[in-house]
Structure formats: C-alpha cells, structure tokens
Amino acid sequence: MNIINDPQEMRRCADHLRAEGKTIGLVPTMGALHAGHMSLVHAALRENDVAVVSIFVNPTQFAPHEDFGKYPRTFQSDIEQLKAAGVSYVYAPSAESMYPEDFVTYVEIGKVTEGLCGGSRPQFFRGVATVVMKLFHAVKPHRAYFGQKDVQQCAVIKRMVRDMDMGIDIIILPVVREPDGLAMSSRNAYLSPEDRRQALAISRALFEAGERMCGGERDSTELIRGVRECMAALQIDYVSLVDAESMQEVCRIEGKVALAAAAVLPTARLIDNIIYDPVENRVF
C-alpha cells in the first residue's frame, strides 16, 4: 500500500495514473472508518481502476468550541481495514502541508449551505468545501464518493463541482445503519449507553415520517410536527424538510425531498436523514 503524505507527491502520482489511462475514485474521509465508509470504499474499488482513500481530520471545518481535539483518530486500524479491502493508495496529508501558516484562501458556497447544519455550524461548509477542493486538486479523481448521511454536504459538493466546472462525478451512497436503525457515524463512539439508547428516536422518527410520506402525507408542517414529537426527549437542533438538491425548505412535497434532523445529546451531536421521491413513492 502507498501512503502519501504530501500534496505535491499526490499530484505527481495522480498525473502518472492518469497518463497510464487509469480512472481514479476518491473516498474523502476523516478516518475512524466504519461500515458506512467501507461501503464507499468498495464502490470506489469496483467502479475505478484505482481507489484513493484520503484520511485527514480537517481543522477548518470545526469551530473552536467543537470536537476537533477529541475526534477519534484510529489511523493504524483504518490502514489495516483499507489494506484488507484491497485499497492501494491512501492520501493522508499533514495539517502543515494542507494549511501552511500563511494560508488565506477559502471556498464559500452560497444558498445551499444556509439552513440545516449550515445554520447551526456556520463555519462548517466553508471548511468542508475548502478541504474537498484541495483533495480534488491533489488526487484528480474521475469520481468521488460520499455518504447520504451527510445529505447537505453531498448537495454542497455537487453544487461546487457543478458551479466550478470540475468535471468530477459525485457518487452518493445510502446511509448505512446499525441493525436497530442508528445511522453509522464516527461520532457514535462518543455516545454513553444511555445516549446510544436515546439516539434511536432520531431514525425512528424519520422512518415513521417516511411511512407517512409513502402513505400520501405531503404537508411539511405536519411531517415535521410528527418527527419533533418522536424526538421530544432529545434536544433538537433542527428538523427540516428541504428540496433534495437545493436544500431550500419546502411547504409541500412536490419533488424529491430530504427530511433531515439533528439532535444534541449530552455526549454527541448526531444527524440523520431520509430522502423521499414522490415519483417512485420510495424512501432512501
């Protein structure tokens, strides 16, 4: 396995692979890999000649009061998992190489970043878009893989790639869940047993709303009321029904929508969502 730590070296390697006519699939991660990440890795391996997995806990997407310092870092076991899966390139740049002291350039994306997580974490998408742009420039992927769990992040990256004519296919794969429904997340590692139990209210609330949508409910206020009721024991950050592409709130379901929720538990802030397509009358 090749572990590359330097952006210049990564670019040289990507140029070499492209010159050989190889397609590159990138899975950007912050490490602490779980089955959700691995579903992206397996797809990247299947659909490209070369899969590159990046591991970088990106400081610019955390506010000073957030969990950058305690974010789980499990580099050795991540590498073992990736080796076992057959990944031959890991890009793990150092913070200094990504953000030298005089770094001043950031990527800002309008509108689509405004509500949901962008509302409660105002610095978040600027950091995500900046680091993903840098990863794309270094790895030069044909395709990049993201999980639907971060539904707004997916919409933001898609918009950035479209608006900046980057010509990269953004592939979104379904949320991977624990058997009881909890969406997999590296932050689940923070949960106390009591919070782990309470956290189930989020997915339950969304699934119940999904059933109502499939049963014909189209009214946003009614659906959000139901979700809030199911999550009443939690400190709710937001519950929003938004257009699945623009991330703008909708009053009634007329096209594909995302129903997204975030809650702040004593040991972790968790997010989850479902996507509903009225044409297929199906929840993803």
Q: Which is nearer to ligand PAF, 61 or 203 (CB)?
A: 61
Nearer to ligand PAF, 78 or 227 (CB): 78
Based on the number of CB atoms within 10 Å of its own CB, is 46 exposed (0-12), middle (13-18) or buried (19 or more)? exposed
Interface residue with ligand PAF, options 39, 71, 150, 175 (CB under 6 A): 150
Catalytic site residue from 37, 42, 137, 142 = 37
Least CB distance to ligand PAF at residue 37 (A): 8
The helix/strand/coil state of 203 is helix
CA angle 30, 123, 138 (to 5 degrees): 45
- Should residue 58 be labelled a site residue for ligand PAF when binding is judged by CB under 6 A? yes
Residues 213-242 that bind ligand PAF (CB under 6 A): none
> Is 37 labeled as catalytic in the residue annotation?
yes
- The residue range among 23-31, 75-83, 196-204, 217-225 that interacts with ligand PAF, by the rule CB under 6 A, is 23-31
Residue (125 or 276) nearer to ligand PAF, CB: 125
Interacting span for ligand PAF (CB under 6 A) from 22-30, 107-115, 137-145, 197-205 = 22-30
Q: Tell whether residue 139 is a contact of ligand PAF (CB under 6 A).
A: no
Count of positions on this chain that bind ligand PAF (CB under 6 A) = 10
- Strand 282-283 to strand 89-91: parallel, antiparallel, or no bridges (unpaired)? unpaired
Query: Please, where are the H alpha helices in the chain?
Result: 7-19, 35-47, 75-85, 95-98, 116-120, 124-139, 151-163, 193-214, 220-230
Measuring CA to CA, which residue among 128, 257, 272, 264 is closest to residue 207?
272
Position 183 contacts ligand PAF (CB under 6 A): no
Which tokens belong to 224?
């959000």
Q: Does 28 bind ligand PAF (CB under 6 A)?
A: yes
What number of residues does the chain have? 284
Q: How far is the CB of 105 from ligand PAF (least distance, A)?
A: 17
Which of 187, 137, 158, 136 is CA-nearest to residue 245?
158
Catalytic residues: 37
The site for ligand PAF (CB under 6 A) is made up of 28-30, 58, 61, 128, 131-132, 150, 153
